Amino acid sequence: MAKVNIPNFKLNNGREIPALGYGTWLGLNDKMVFDITDLPKLVDTLSYAIDIGYRHIDTAHLYRVEPEVGQVINKKIEEGVVKREDLFVTTKVWHHYHREADVEVSVRASLRRLNLDYVDLVLMHWPMSISQDGVDEKIDYLETWRGFETVLKKGLAKAIGVSNFNVEQLKRLLANSKVVPASNQIEINLNLGQKELVDFCQAHNIVVVAYSPFGTMVPSHAAPGSPEPKLNNPTMVSIAKKYGKTVTQVTLRYLFQRGLISIPKTVSKSRVVENADIFDFVLDENDVKTLAEFDNGYRTVPCSFWQDYANYPFEKTDVKLEIPLALRKWKNGANQDID
């Protein structure tokens, strides 16, 4: 069995976080309904990932898979493959739990589903507060953050952070909080470099975690008319050939050299190995510049159906969409029957 060796970054509280994680978001299908089809594959692949050396697992209440993720983790601990302290587990608090007291309710529910005593990092999934009925509750994320500080103080999480926060929101949070977020998880890929936001985070010792690190690279996952690069892009293929790596490995290495953590998602064991095989080469300065030129601000995950809600963090568009029911009401687990 192939083994991988993933280095760590250090959070601002002194704890370490692996530079590559296993993402557990299965996604919505073309009808905007949560797709549970690949959950058995996810369980099998996550188990394999831990066996070969992955230690960073990224999940969320929204993802519906906390029960299964927890089962895998507990099984690997029972088997002696890992100790709990070897793993770095992240989960997230959804829109419905933005009142200060409700943050703890959400985190305790995640711990129950995961069957864990604590998570290593809990994130405010988005800065918006929206009820299950789609009502804008307009709860200040500063209030929500106070709930996060309580969760940290009680030891339910070893670190607290945010996700999808822009620079102005971070500035306001830093000016009005006791605890600096340990992390900001945001979309970053070759199309969306987010240099200003990354620079701000790194200047304030906030680790940046990149979700959707491949952006529109995989044609089957890309919207019509989405920009290059794709997997067969000549420039990407040429750079990959130069280092004896794949196009996706070059992409993950580029993000790593920017000081970013990536959490690619896959239900393929071979891809799990491939994603982690990026720490034995270095992209030269010219190739880094070439890759940076793909940055055009294109957002793969705009979630524009939230754009009229208070604290929406992205640029607004003329597109008007309804919030999918799957992002408002759900139950967890394979049978969708766990609260």
Q: What is the DSSP letter of 223?
A: P
> Partners of 324 in the beta sheet?
none
User: Given 63, 97, 211, 312, which residue is catalytic?
Assistant: 63
- DSSP-derived secondary structure for 77-118: HHTTS--GGG-EEEEEE-GGG-SHHHHHHHHHHHHHHHT-S-
Q: What is the CA radius of gyration of the chain?
A: 19
Q: Which residue has the tokens 């896959």?
A: 266
- DSSP-derived secondary structure for 125-193: S-S--B-TT--B----HHHHHHHHHHHHHTTSBS-EEEES--HHHHHHHHHT-SS--SEEEEE-SSS--
Round to whole Å and give the CA distance between 186 and 113. Answer: 25
**If we measure between CA atoms, which residue out of 4, 63, 94 comes closest to residue 265?**
63
Residue 63 annotated among the catalytic residues of the structure: yes
Q: Is 290 left (phi over 0), alpha (psi -120 to 50) or beta?
A: alpha
**Six-digit token pair at 162?**
């945010």
Contact between 107 and 151 under an 8 Å Cβ cutoff? The reply is yes
Contact between 62 and 164 under an 8 Å Cβ cutoff? The reply is no
Q: How many CB atoms lie within 10 A of CB 315?
A: 11
Round to whole Å and give the CA distance between 58 and 19. Answer: 12
Q: What is the DSSP letter of 10?
A: E
**Six-digit token pair at 133?**
């009925």
Active site residues: 63
